[in-house]
Amino acid sequence: MSIDNIKILAYQKNYTKINNDYINNVFSTGTGEQSIVAITNSNPSNIAAGKWSYAGGVFTVSDGEASHAEGYETSARGRASHAEGESTRVEGRNSHAEGCGTTVEAGADYSHVEGHSTIVRNSSAHAEGHSTIAEGNSSHAEGSMTVAKGFYSHAEGEETATHSSNTHAEGGGTYAYGMYSHAEGGAINTTSINVNGSGTSYTANSSISSKYIGKRICYSDYNTNTEYNAYITSVNSPGFTVSDSLGNLTGKYCRIFAASTSAIGLYSHAEGIGTTAEGNYSHAEGYYNYAKGLGSHAEGYYTIASGQY
């Protein structure tokens, strides 16, 4: 909605301008406890359309009740919300956006977003840093290009991701997939492939090695600021399958984190570089080790623990 349309909407609410001061443009409607007061400050381009709202700075909009918008092209639309900085937007109630290009989406109540191009999509969540996404309820994403999808999950570092609830991914390129799992360490070492297919079955435009089984693969849809993550479950080159749908990827590029550390199993733990803990309750540490069995433990250098316990 444009600033002009919002201005028209404000006047349609039967506001009456009660002073002509350039510094403070005060509008009111109703009387007594039912009255509404909205104030725009510093620039006539600011629109305070919500009850008891305030808009200050340049091209700011506060149309949520008791909301506050300040800075440049900020928008506070949720009840009791606060937007500050440049091009920040708050849709959720009792939420706060600051920085540049940050967003608290509708329904993400009691949330906080800060930094640059960070997004919060669920309640009681927090995103900070650069291009991070806190998607799960009560999740926390920080660093650079991290995604916290699971409820109560935490993704930190660079290009880390969590999938399930109560998970933790930290470091570089790590992936915590299984519930209550923990992935740490990793290295940013990616391979880009052109992909065709949909659902969980895809075909690469070139041969794909079986060494990528257990590795994180992701596709980013920048039109909706969404990142789709999964891990590779099997390879029959050039075909391969993944754990979760990445959508329709016909003619699009995906990235495989070849040196990623992945905790896939329930209660699993992966640390180091290129390690994969696939079995439930498994533990992989070191360098390119693979704990595949239930309760298995792999450590050292290129080891595989396929048996149980």
Alpha-helical regions (H) of the chain: 3-12
Give the model's pLDDT for residue 42: 47
Give the model's pLDDT for residue 41: 53
- Give the domain ranges of the chain: 3-114, 190-257, 266-305
pLDDT along the chain (309 residues), means of 10: 40 42 50 52 68 84 90 94 96 96 96 97 97 96 96 97 97 96 93 92 91 93 85 95 92 91 97 96 97 96 92
Cα-based torsion angle of the residue sequence 140, 141, 142, 143 in order, rounded to the nearest 10 degrees? 160
Give the model's pLDDT for residue 250: 87
pTM of the model: 0.86
Q: Cα–Cα distance between 113 and 279 in angstroms, integer?
A: 35
Cα-based torsion angle of the residue sequence 93, 97, 101, 103 in order, rounded to the nearest 10 degrees? -30
Q: Cα–Cα distance between 98 and 102 in angstroms, integer?
A: 7
- The answer to whether the peptide bond before residue 44 is cis (omega within 30 degrees of 0) is no
| Dihedral class, residue 249 (left if φ above 0, else alpha if ψ from -120 to 50, else beta) | alpha
Do 96 and 108 meet the contact criterion of CB atoms below 8 Å apart? no
66-95 per-residue burial string, b: 16 or more CB within 10 A, e: under 16? bbbbbbebbbbbbbbbbbbbbbbbbbbbbb
Q: Cα–Cα distance between 94 and 71 in angstroms, integer?
A: 19
Phi, psi of 288 (to 5 degrees): 50, 45
Local structure of residue 87 (DSSP, 8 states): S
Do 195 and 217 meet the contact criterion of CB atoms below 8 Å apart? no
Give the model's pLDDT for residue 39: 58
Query: Which amino acid, one-letter code, is at 195?
Result: V
Give the model's pLDDT for residue 91: 95
